[in-house]
Amino acid sequence: VWIGSGLLESIGDWLPEQCSGKRCCIISDNTVYSLYGKNVTTGLISAGCDVVEPFVIEPGESSKSMNVLRACYKHLLDQKMDRDSMIVTLGGGVPGDLGGFAAATFMRGIPFVQIPTTLLAQADASIGGKTGINLEEGKNLIGAFHQPLSVISDLCTLNTLPARHIRNGLAEIVKMAVLGSETLFEQIETNAHQCLALKMPELAQILTASCILKAGIVERDETDKGIRTTLNLGHTIGHALETADNFSSILHGEAVALGMIAVSHISVLENLLDRNTYRRIRALLSTLKLTVSVRDIDVHAVFSSLDRDKKSRSGSIHFVLPVKLGQTQIKSDISRNRIEQGIRSILDTGIDEENPE
């Protein structure tokens, strides 16, 4: 994983050697391709790649679909891509997940390189080899583990990313810190404003530390059967919030931030986490301009989404609960009442919710 500023200018230096001489197809979305496609194509050509016509999708989650995937396979065949070819994904988590899954399955699997251009994709989606698409029945239901040859994260690409998407990525970085490293948490506390303003080297250092943490966890449990579950901190309630919202107004990282506050609150009530740490987590998310409470959550809709989750996981919901900064505990016996208290803690009632009781 290469992280730096201006990497796209000299992309040949960062590509793995085996790319040279290979037929190569870029998979990207309209927005990102029009910004960076030309640069990346030129770089790939000068690194000795035979670059075919790119496969460019509409931006957004709806492109992670079976129809778009089918069109992608057809495009790869039309461009005479074969078992010796490779894919380069260029964009956020959507082109990354779709292109990575195409790479995992085309001709039983071909190599790919990820060039993530959102902070969320640089910190999270490009690390760990999870690729996939959505079904109408739910997100990420079809997928494969397929590790990229390399990941090239050029922080300069973040200059064109809307500020809301920067905060969205920062939420996942805070999550990494809460579950895996008190030092990283402190580093983000100290440099929150620099991160929001994309100041280097602070942002690069924090992103690097976060990627090292995630990669370390994935190396110990690549196929998500044990410790990798802790990466779901904030995701159980976060995902239920996204579903209740119909994925319309809330971004994934924003939902994770809210989910993280809710489970931290539960943790305090279960006497697993001290109140001061809860306040620090909430305060840091708030400093990063992430929403820490919402006015109109339909608690019943959130519960019915959690219940569907429970059914699909043979009867119990596992909560990843922070016990101190850098450490979590997984519990599956949290009472309904407790979960509701957690959800209500992110309800904006006009009352100061910083002091859970």
Ligand X SMILES: NC(=O)c1ccc[n+]([C@@H]2O[C@H](COP(=O)([O-])OP(=O)(O)OC[C@H]3O[C@@H](n4cnc5c(N)ncnc54)[C@H](O)[C@@H]3O)[C@@H](O)[C@H]2O)c1
Q: Which of 7, 24, 81, 121 binds ligand X (CB under 6 A)?
A: 121
Examine residue 228 and tell whether it contacts ligand X (CB under 6 A): no
- In this structure, are residues 231 and 223 in contact, taking their beta carbons and an 8 Å threshold? no
Query: Contact region for ligand X (CB under 6 A) — 3-11, 158-166, 239-247, 296-304?
Result: 158-166
Nearest CB to ligand X, comparing residues 157 and 181: 157
User: In sequence order, what are the beta bridge partners of 2?
Assistant: 152
Residue 143, C-beta contacts closer than 8 angstroms, at least 6 positions apart: 97, 101, 130, 131, 132, 133
Examine residue 64 and tell whether it contacts ligand X (CB under 6 A): yes
Backbone angles phi, psi at 100, to 5 degrees: -65, -40
By CB under 6 A, the residues from 246 to 275 that bind ligand X are: 252
Identify the DSSP state of 294: B
Nearest to 123 by CA among 158, 88, 98, 71: 158
Examine residue 242 and tell whether it contacts ligand X (CB under 6 A): no
Give me the least distance between CB of 21 and ligand X, in Å please: 29
Q: What crossing angle do the helices spanning 235-244 and 299-312 adopt, rounded to 10°?
A: 120
Nearest to 100 by CA among 141, 62, 72, 136: 72
Examine residue 241 and tell whether it contacts ligand X (CB under 6 A): no
- In this structure, are residues 69 and 101 in contact, taking their beta carbons and an 8 Å threshold? yes
Nearest to 256 by CA among 337, 197, 177, 348: 177
Q: Cβ-closest residue to ligand X?
A: 93
Q: Which of 91, 111, 180, 238 binds ligand X (CB under 6 A)?
A: 91
Give me the least distance between CB of 65 and ligand X, in Å please: 11
Query: Contact region for ligand X (CB under 6 A) — 42-50, 57-65, 221-229, 293-301?
Result: 57-65
Query: Contact region for ligand X (CB under 6 A) — 19-27, 74-82, 114-122, 282-290?
Result: 114-122
Examine residue 31 and tell whether it contacts ligand X (CB under 6 A): yes
Cα–Cα dist 90/294, whole Å: 33
Nearest CB to ligand X, comparing residues 75 and 214: 214
* E strand or H helix at 249: none
Query: Contact region for ligand X (CB under 6 A) — 85-93, 177-185, 304-312, 339-347?
Result: 85-93
Q: Which of 118, 210, 277, 291 binds ligand X (CB under 6 A)?
A: 118
Query: Contact region for ligand X (CB under 6 A) — 24-32, 217-225, 296-304, 333-341?
Result: 24-32
Q: Which of 157, 187, 328, 345 binds ligand X (CB under 6 A)?
A: 157
Nearest CB to ligand X, comparing residues 166 and 269: 166
Cα–Cα dist 232/319, whole Å: 8
SS (H, E, C) 124-163: HHCCCCEEEEEECCEEEEEEEECCCCEEEEEHHHHHHCCH
Query: Contact region for ligand X (CB under 6 A) — 47-55, 125-133, 313-321, 324-332?
Result: 125-133
Nearest CB to ligand X, comparing residues 116 and 356: 116
Give me the least distance between CB of 52 and ligand X, in Å please: 22
Q: Which of 125, 166, 171, 339 binds ligand X (CB under 6 A)?
A: 125
- In this structure, are residues 118 and 145 in contact, taking their beta carbons and an 8 Å threshold? no
Residue type, 73: Y
Q: Could you identify the residue written with the tokens 């809710």?
A: 262
Examine residue 120 and tell whether it contacts ligand X (CB under 6 A): yes
- In this structure, are residues 144 and 129 in contact, taking their beta carbons and an 8 Å threshold? no
Residues that bind ligand X (CB under 6 A): 29, 31-32, 35, 59-61, 64, 91-95, 97, 117-118, 120-121, 124-125, 128, 130, 139-140, 157, 160-161, 165, 252
